[in-house]
Structure 1
Amino acid sequence: MREIAVVFVLLAFLAHSAMGEEMVFFADDLYKAAATPELHASLVDPAVAPGGSTALKIVVANSGRVLALLPTGIQGSSLEASREMQEELRSVDALNVVATLTAKDPVSVLSGPATIPLLPSGTAQPVEFLVQVGEGAEGPYHLDLRLDYEHQIDVRISAGQASPLYVPANVSEEITIHAGGSRESFRADYARSELWPGENGTLTLVIRNLAGPAGNCSARLLAAPPFRASDQPVSLGYMQPGDLALATFWVEVGDNASVRQYQMACQVLQDGESSAWSSTIPLTVAVEEGQSIQIWLVPLPLILALAFLAWRWWQG
């Protein structure tokens, strides 16, 4: 039994090493989970108006997974073993999340850090920051978002009580906003999206001209993570007042996109210059049924083979 325990601990160590974490556990552990939170951030609406303050809503999501749940070989009661298995699964949850947004001229952040007390795996929570963009600013600007949090790396069960061990961690992401434009010259009358996490899809818009004649028009999709779109504009041609034009964009969706509604912005260009317009268009990212957090258990033949090798090594 001691040889098998050595194998299990080795497997857990390798799983944690693959995630870039050190292996830490109590001496009397019955189980060890190879798991950690994975935090990602996405901007709800990247379009901001210059010369004033705007409330930026950012969604923070946790897509952490339990990669392995391994017995250590140490004996304990069935009740303690069951309780420890359940508590070890909390290793993917993020606690005391503090989101801090910083920017450089001409963008300034007017509000302080935002907090999320608990962000379990598979969930998302919005945070808001008040930002100000300088008068006359136009184009994309990159902001830095730092997420500080705590997560469980081990837990001990004693007399029916759980005693978790927490460590601090952090991750940084780039948030891109697009400044410039009004929202009155054009309008999106129809939007259809066919987008799935980790896949390339399409977003189709029907754009209406609400103002005067506009020559050599084109449209560009302003996307923020977890989306990525080409910077190449889509031609709309010459548009009279009231005219409709069809624009289809290819969109790459990140693996960490969750099932919910996101918002993007589309910018119409006229004669190669910005038409001083941008419009926010909601779209839905769909995830197929049956996807869930995966718990990896070591196959029995592999366990037996590794146990045999460990026994041979132990015998010298």
Structure 2
Amino acid sequence: MDLRTLRAFVEVVRQGGFSQASKTIFATQSAVSKAVRQLEDELGAPLLDRIGHRPRLTALGELVYPRAVKLLAAREDLLADIAEMRGLKRGTLRLGLPLVASSSIFGPVVAGFRARYPGIEIRLTEHGGDELITMVRAGDIELAASLKPDAPDLEWQDVRREPLVAVLATDHPLAGASAVEIGALRETPFLLFGEGFSINRLVLAACRRHGFEPAVAARSSQVDFLLELARAGLGVAFLPRSLAEPARLSAGIAAPLLAEPDTEWRLTMIWRTGAFLSHAARAWLALLTQPPGEHSH
């Protein structure tokens, strides 16, 4: 069984189609299709149902896909082990960071890492938290920043913990409160991040504990845009306190604390349980434990 054909099959499933997969693995669409066909011929049955807009896994595909993901991840571990044993002076840090808070939290750390380890290339991937978790599990990246996982196949290290705040226009009836419960916002439209952002899960789970599904006025992956929508009175946005603080000091924004249990924004760095961590990854984790002012020393 050829790892090349397994890679093509996995990417077609992950990316939702042959065209998207071809861009990910830098091959033509016909080459990707041919590789998947080759794998299906070897196994003696189709792995994908190609009827419709998006290929879907057959029963055999459901069996093969998770094992193929593990095989590809094991290959990446093996290559990393070999590189470490050879004592390569140059290395690569395959790092995933969320679109929320990356610049303010990780910008100084990236700068400090580059100053200390100029020979190590940082291959940075930016996505929502859910996609980053998927990429870690697949072995596409070594480390990713995400909300604290509750999964035995992932290990984690704390980065930052903060409460969430409810960002409102100053003319909202609750704008003057120091803290609000999410149930009090039941009639206010919600301004949420895009699909796949972990903060959404915290907020929506809190709503369900109060017995309601919020009306969603808009979604965006851009913090500044959500703040402006809240300022304009379109609804309530939810952000870690440090991200909302600069906006709160300007006109038109209030940011009372979200007084709900289990909604703490707990940012962690995650990796696969038992996975080999390269020298670069271990150095990154060690740097994160240092006070912010020491990242560049």
More helix by share: 2
TM-score (norm 1): 0.25
Larger RCO: Structure 1 or Structure 2 (Cα < 8 Å, ≥ 6 residues apart)? 2
TM-score (norm 2): 0.26
